Structure 1
Amino acid sequence: MAQSNRAAARSGKRRVLTIHPVPSRRLVAVFILLSASLCGLGIRLAWLQLVEGGKLQARARSIQTTSIAPIGERRTIVDRNGSLVALDEERFILWAHPRYFNFPGDDPQSIRPAADVASKLATVLAQPKATLLQAIGNRKSGVKLASDLDPETAARVKALGISGLDLEAYPHRIYPQGPLFANVVGFLNLERVPQAGLEQSRNSDLKRHETTVRMLRGADGTPLPQGLAAGSLYGDDLKLQLTLDARLQQVAQQALVKQVKQWHAKRGAAMVMDVRNGEILALASTPTYDPNKFWKFKPGLFREWSVQDLYEPGSTFKPINLALALQEKAIDPNGKVTDNGSLSIGGWPIFNHDRRGNGVIDFPTVLQVSSNVGMVQAMKHVKRDRFWQWLRNFGIDASPDTDLPGAVAGELKKKTDFVGQPIESAVASFGQGFSLTPLKLLQLHAMLANGGRLVSPHITRGLRSGDSLATSAPSSGIPLLDVGVTQTVMRWMESVVEKGSGKGVKIPGYRIGGKTGTAQKAERGVYIAGARICSFVAHLPIDDPRYVVLVVVDEPQGGNAYGSTVAVPVAKQIIEALLVLQNIPPSVAVPTAAVGTAKLPG
């Protein structure tokens, strides 16, 4: 055959191929095969679109969509001037996955030994290389190398560019002022659960607005605008603004700590309130704790005792009683009482603190010498049922209307006991036989200063946006006493500072009123031998009252521990700072050399 073809080629003749017809059975088979394939593709396409279309679309969306879950950030807390009190700071956990260790420039398929990675991390994390290697061990993934990394350290780790290192961000609550506001702000535990103070009582307000963001991305990871729901990237910049002033708080805290230490006292509290609207500018207490390291302190320190613990106010309640007696017209403002130093009520003896008589004295003198007998003589003209009703009207045994966490009601004897037993109203006349919190006493003295209105004490001004700050609230309160009545009592209290036990708080050029108190301390209805509570309350300026200052020191030691020696020095330092911070002008002109200079924190 080959020879014939070559022969044909040499001869120059073309070869003719014979065409044979394709069998019909083969054409039918091919046609059936192609038709079946097309039908199969159509059926498969219909199945994918109609039956499995939803599942496939969901799988595609899951691949294309990135879900950013909220990390539980909380709103910032600031003082009345915008100084930071509490805020969330971003921190990081460093995870290692040794199976993926790789340095920039390495072969993508190569795996670096753990020792190489530990060498680079040791400097950044300030940890020994051996410690890091020990943590990694033989594990291939999910190794927690470090936690609580600050953003700067995390940025240095990221800059290394090492594959197999993963930084997990989380919010961390910090308190820049340390112990200064711990007693009212509280803290979050390690699981970010609020445990005390405003962090707990205002938890819902402090939770930042956060939602899970679902973002569609293209093949290259670029976010697609159509994948973002309206408002999904809304930024919550609200912050909780306090009425407290960090500068005044620091002055009060330092003065209080010094005095409590000097007198070996159990504890102390100092408070400043704006009498017009109930805003509290300072609420300091000692001992306290650092909310940044709360685990190092006893849980008993996490509560603010000045709003949660009851005590008998003693002589600091005498001006309030005289005001209600004037309101009842039971005493004459110009009247006098006889003080023999002691008297007996229903067989019970009552003495002055020094057991000395003061003779016939007017009501300013009753306050100046803090006469118990004089108060009993004055208040006996008030019907006992009316006396008890006034104490109820003042809210002694009611929970106060306040935003201070944990504030409690005081205790007042039953009306039948108060009215039926003369000794009850007698001891109540000089502030014993009932109990309240220092916060409640502060509120009642603010009522005397503002013309008879019972204002609600509070430490927050609400949520604010951006850099804006709220201004002071307008005057408010429930009217209970006549203005003339309160003005009379305020003049009497001014005489205590000018002539009586409050002399230590005098400041040249300023009219200040006050009242000291040295009360026996009771526990479960029984007075504790030798235990006392020393206090002092001040109003200023008398000609235009704006502020009331209260200092309470619990169980100071020493025979000379009185309100005038223990509490007054603290109050004076607070008042001097308050006059400067609030720019309060003198009531009368004084030589420059006579005016002291308050020491304020830098």
Structure 2
Amino acid sequence: MTFVLSIFAGRLVQLQGLDSKVYAAEAAEQRIRGEKITARRGSITDVNGHELALTVEARELFVDPSVIPAAQRDRVATVLAADLGRPKEEIAAKLADPKKRYVPVATVTPAVADKVLGREFKGVGSKHEYRRDYPGGDLAGTLLGFVGDDGNGLTGLELLHDKLLAGQDGEQVIETGAKGQRIPMTHTTIRTPVEGRDVRLTIDRDIQWAAQKAISEQVAATGARTGSAIVMDVQTGQVLAVANAPELDLKNWEKTSADDWVNRAASDVFEPGSTNKVITAAAALESGAVRPDTVFTVDDEIRCADRTLRDSHPHPVERLTFSGVVATSSNVGTILAAQKVGDQKLHEMMRRFGFGAKPGAGFYGEEAGLLPSWEKWSGSQRCTVAYGQGVSVTALQTASVYQTIANGGVRVTPSIVAGTTDENDALVPAAPGKRTRVVSERTARQVTGMLEAAVGADGTGTMAAIDDYRVAGKTGTAMRYDAACQGYCGYTATFVGFAPADKPRLVVLAVIQDPHKGYYGGEIAAPVFKKVMTFALKSKKIPPTGTTPPTVRIRAGE
């Protein structure tokens, strides 16, 4: 007995003396569990601070099937299903496996969680967390993007600014018992989370709503495939609205095809058609090859290499001034002017206006379009490029071209972020857009006169005219390349312009893809421009200038 007791005594000395620290450390390691403390994600707001995307408190309800008596499971499933608005079968399935200790049930508001926990069911608990909410539903949906179940951005600005918005999660270390329950009064170590920063956009919520409404209604009315609208500040290059149709409902993004997650205004590439004629006009005037009153003899067709290209509309031979060429959107007249400029100089002018490069506006998924080298232009392409067929751009790039003309020939890099908050929640304004002189002020003023004539009685954009305001703009109707038919199928209808023409403040663009009830830009895109521009002018309290537009000679002899 003495020998046996001595063995026990030796073992006790080893456990409690020699190896006590090792076993104590192992026991502590089994008790200690780390928990992530999720940082609150920053908000995305419009230019006036209205929240477009925000984070709200939520509760994750969970169950511990191992401690819920079998006889109580049916009642628990029935009550939880009623409280949460879920099928009873779904809840019952989560309670079915008694070997599981933690099964998430639903993410709910604090009020709903309090109601459920107030029933004091054994094995039902909650955990604090955050939930992303989009008060506007589909307001600027494709621009904002959304977050996944893990709280990380998946697309749009939510992804582009994910690191800034997310902040840094904290950590909480607790001690638990054998069944996973927290031991009261035990030591807890906390690493405080760092909340995410807010991102303030240049978007104006009211103008965004008006733009979305106008473009979505017109897409529906014309049976079109898609549409986009952009509103831009002339002087700053800030984007006040960017709307797409169909737009993405951020409250139900999981039910939406991934094809509709993209911001088409920045990522869809198309041939611009006649809206591109302002670049040809700017190149011709800047080079000195023509003047606004230079007269061209214009037929309704022209031979280019192996192709005969037709004018925008049939007509007898007429003598148009260059201003008349732009105002009436003559393809033949534009080609004649481009031939005086030359391929290389026309290509260089397109480059200066931003074609072939991403606009750098800060949109997720921006595309650069396609501007082939002038040496590679085919025989007919040397003509069609002049009126916007044979090059590809985005709606954002096109709006930027007209911002440049409206701003006296100075391009301001478009921007969508007005600023972000710092660690003290103070707004730090974003750097202003880069300013680049593209054409002279004189050239910009002359092109503006032509664009104002295009909205006048003799132009193609009469449906864009706004009472009491001077408006400058251009229609565009281009054949649309469609990969599905492996060729040109359907049309792209566009109108883009600015107002007031003599003191420009706002640029508005509307583009409608593959309409089936009409297809001319002056018929189906110009009315969208008029609605959006009228609303934006009133919203920004921009008054008419009260001036009278100068008389523009369209035809020789007038």
Match of 2:46 in 1: 79
Of 271, 281, 285, the residue aligned with 2:240 is: 281
Of 579, 583, 592, the residue aligned with 2:541 is: 583
Q: Which amino acid aligns with 1:533?
A: T
Partners of 2:498 and 2:508 within 8 A in 1:
yes
2:14, 2:444 → 1: CA distance? 93
Partners of 2:500 and 2:545 within 8 A in 1:
yes
Match of 1:458 in 2: 415
Change (3 A) 1:286 1:119: closer
Match of 2:125 in 1: 166
The yes-or-no answer on 1:514 pairing with 2:458 is no
1:312, 1:124 → 2: CA distance? 54
Of 562, 567, 571, the residue aligned with 2:520 is: 562
Partners of 1:132 and 1:145 within 8 A in 2:
no
| Deviation, structure 1 residue 135 | 5.4
Q: How does 1:143-542 map to 2 (within 5 A)?
A: 144=103, 146-192=105-151, 194-214=153-173, 221=185, 232-233=191-192, 235-236=194-195, 238-357=197-316, 359-418=318-377, 423-465=380-422, 474=432, 476-499=434-457, 500-523=459-482, 528=487, 531-542=490-501
Match of 1:91 in 2: 58
Q: Percent identity?
A: 28
Q: Which amino acid aligns with 2:417?
A: T
Q: TM-score, normalized by length of structure 2?
A: 0.84
| Deviation, structure 1 residue 325 | 1.6
Partners of 2:39 and 2:194 within 8 A in 1:
no
1:413, 1:53 → 2: CA distance? 74
Partners of 2:343 and 2:374 within 8 A in 1:
no
**Matched position secondary structure for 2:127:** strand
| Deviation, structure 1 residue 44 | 8.2
Change (3 A) 1:506 1:138: closer
| Deviation, structure 1 residue 483 | 1.4
**Matched position secondary structure for 1:573:** helix
Partners of 1:269 and 1:551 within 8 A in 2:
yes
| Deviation, structure 1 residue 523 | 4.1
Change (3 A) 1:214 1:308: same
Q: Which amino acid aligns with 1:221?
A: M
**Matched position secondary structure for 1:179:** coil
Q: Which amino acid aligns with 2:391?
A: F
1:482, 1:177 → 2: CA distance? 42
2:30, 2:263 → 1: CA distance? 50
Q: Which amino acid aligns with 1:276?
A: Q
Q: TM-score, normalized by length of structure 1?
A: 0.78
Partners of 1:310 and 1:437 within 8 A in 2:
yes
| Deviation, structure 1 residue 397 | 1.9
| Count of residue pairs the alignment pairs up | 534
| Deviation, structure 1 residue 318 | 0.9
Q: Which amino acid aligns with 2:490?
A: A
**Matched position secondary structure for 2:139:** helix
Q: CA-atom RMSD, angstroms?
A: 3.6
| Deviation, structure 1 residue 66 | 7.3
Change (3 A) 1:167 1:435: same
**Matched position secondary structure for 1:396:** coil
1:568, 1:426 → 2: CA distance? 26
516-525 vs 284-293, which moves further: 516-525
Match of 2:555 in 1: none
**Matched position secondary structure for 1:88:** strand
1:457, 1:183 → 2: CA distance? 18
2:307, 2:67 → 1: CA distance? 87
Of 533, 553, 566, the residue aligned with 2:512 is: 553
Q: Which amino acid aligns with 1:287?
A: P
Partners of 2:174 and 2:186 within 8 A in 1:
no
Deviations 1:427-477 (A, max 9, x none): 222112211111111111111111222222232224225775566865642
Q: Which amino acid aligns with 1:429?
A: A
Deviations 1:300-346 (A, max 9, x none): 11222332222111111111211122111221233222212222233
Partners of 1:520 and 1:528 within 8 A in 2:
no
Q: Which amino acid aligns with 2:36?
A: A
**Matched position secondary structure for 1:491:** helix
Change (3 A) 1:119 1:505: closer
2:108, 2:58 → 1: CA distance? 5
Partners of 1:417 and 1:424 within 8 A in 2:
no
**Matched position secondary structure for 2:98:** coil
**Matched position secondary structure for 2:469:** coil
Deviations 1:20-69 (A, max 9, x none): xxxxxxxxxxxxxxxx9xxx9xx889956xx7557747866986x77441
| Deviation, structure 1 residue 524 | 6.4
Change (3 A) 1:519 1:66: same
| Deviation, structure 1 residue 125 | 3.8
Q: Which has the larger radius of gyration?
A: 1
Deviations 1:323-376 (A, max 9, x none): 122111221233222212222233432221112146222222212211111111
